[in-house]
Amino acid sequence: MKVAVVGATGLVGSKMLQVLAERNFPVTELIPVASEKSVGKEVMYKGKPYKVVTADTAIGMKPNVAIFSAGGSTSLEWAPKFAAAGITVIDNSSAWRMDPTKKLVVPEVNASALTPEDKIIANPNCSTIQMVLVLDPLHKKYGIQRVVVSTYQSVTGTGVKAVTQLMNERQGIEGEKAYAHQIDLNVIPQIDVFLDNGYTKEEMKMVKETVKIMGDERIKVTATTVRIPVMGGHSESVNIEFDKDFDLAEVRQILAATPGVIVVDDPANASYPMPKDAHDKDEVFVGRIRRDESQANTLNLWIVADNLRKGAATNAVQIAEYLQGKNWL
């Protein structure tokens, strides 16, 4: 199994390599791909060095699968070229997510939508992935009408530059900035650019992607996405209005039985999910499970996951594992 990782030198790309190794994906040859300035550099995989090549060179090496994490413009240019060469692309950027001809996949939720003909498969936004993993089993049981979500997102979601800005500010060092404002000891209620409707691009991603992944246009979503000075994972406060009433004990049972979800919900002992506890883990953690007493059939939850793992790298590798299990690679 020849595997290309496009964007191998970036924050998510290096996490892709780590996850491929940890999950023992059957890589016989790794092809790390990055921009021209990184060509010839080496990345380590399972203790062996591999030289970075260009996307053009990688296509000529005929990998079975190419996992992209190099930004939307790179994906728009190169994913079709890989696909045209018969290489299956799993793309972590926003480039193809809302393309009606492309599948947007969280394996636990909608892997069954995939076919051998899907040559470009989109990996959803990190904040959407962790939310739909929790929403899906509850939707199947109670029917979701509306979701109100506020996110508390790690600086790692922006990349190395943002992590550097946070650490520089913490140490009183002047340096390059990823954000328009100070992030240490602050909260920035903007992720990505603002759109004409007053929402940010990140907020509208959550709205549209949730509906596409869950395959139900009836679900209404409204989001506020916020950057906070933490590393380790994204947190979400989620309010869910159902078609019918629910039993809290049953909700906990449903979530505890959901693959990839761990319930951490013991308020009496101050036990609930936090980003530092989700760091470097593949599961999605859910707690603060309680009834919304302001209206009928409505539930409040707190959801936390490592945005670089299940929110990006792990989800992409799980898609590859599903395809490989079907002998489609």
The verdict on pTM exceeding 0.85 is yes
Residue 97 annotated as binding? yes
CA distances from 59 to 82, 94, 158, 168, 317 (A): 6, 22, 28, 39, 20
Instruction: Give the model confidence (pLDDT) of 140-195 as tens digits.
Output: 999 999 999 999 999 999 999 999 999 999 999 999 999 999 999 999 999 999 99
Answer yes or no: is 178 within a domain.
Answer: no
142 and 98 belong to one structural domain: no
Cβ count within 10 A of residue 57 = 14
Give the pLDDT score at 62.
Answer: 98
142 and 80 belong to one structural domain: no
113 and 252 belong to one structural domain: no
Answer yes or no: is 213 within a domain.
Answer: yes
Structure tokens at 73: 């413009």
Q: How far apart are CA 253 and CA 271, in angstroms?
A: 17
Average pLDDT for 94-99: 97
Average pLDDT, the chain: 97
142 and 284 belong to one structural domain: yes
274 and 288 belong to one structural domain: yes
Answer yes or no: is 89 within a domain.
Answer: yes
What is the share, in percent, of the chain residues with pLDDT greater than 70? 100
Structure tokens at 263: 């319930």
Residue 227 annotated as binding? yes
Answer yes or no: is 17 within a domain.
Answer: yes
Give the pLDDT score at 321.
Answer: 98
Answer yes or no: is 179 within a domain.
Answer: no
Instruction: Give the model confidence (pLDDT) of 308-326 as tens digits.
Output: 999 999 999 999 999 999 9
Q: What CATH number is given to the structural domain containing 149?
A: 3.30.360.10
31 secondary structure, DSSP code: E
Residue 10 annotated as binding? yes
Structurally, how many domains does the chain consist of?
2
Domain span at residue 271 reads: 127-154+187-305
Average pLDDT for 213-228: 98
Task: State phi, psi for 216 to the nearest 5 degrees.
Answer: -140, 105
Please say if the pLDDT value at position 256 is more than 90: yes
137 and 257 belong to one structural domain: yes
Extract the runs of DSSP E, i.e. beta strands, from the chain: 2-6, 29-33, 42-45, 48-51, 65-68, 88-91, 103-104, 120-122, 144-153, 220-227, 234-242, 261-263, 284-291, 298-305
pLDDT class of 232 with cuts at 50, 70, 90: confident
Residue 57 annotated as binding? no
pLDDT class of 251 with cuts at 50, 70, 90: very high
Please name the amino acid found at residue 199: Y
280 and 210 belong to one structural domain: yes
228 and 252 belong to one structural domain: yes
116 and 7 belong to one structural domain: yes
Give the pLDDT score at 14.
Answer: 94
Answer yes or no: is 136 within a domain.
Answer: yes
What residues act catalytically? Answer: 126, 234
Average pLDDT for 262-285: 97
75 and 198 belong to one structural domain: no
74 and 215 belong to one structural domain: no
Residue 11 annotated as binding? yes
54 and 67 belong to one structural domain: yes
Q: What CATH number is given to the structural domain containing 102?
A: 3.40.50.720
Please say if the pLDDT value at position 9 is more than 90: yes
R_g of the chain, CA atoms, integer Å: 20
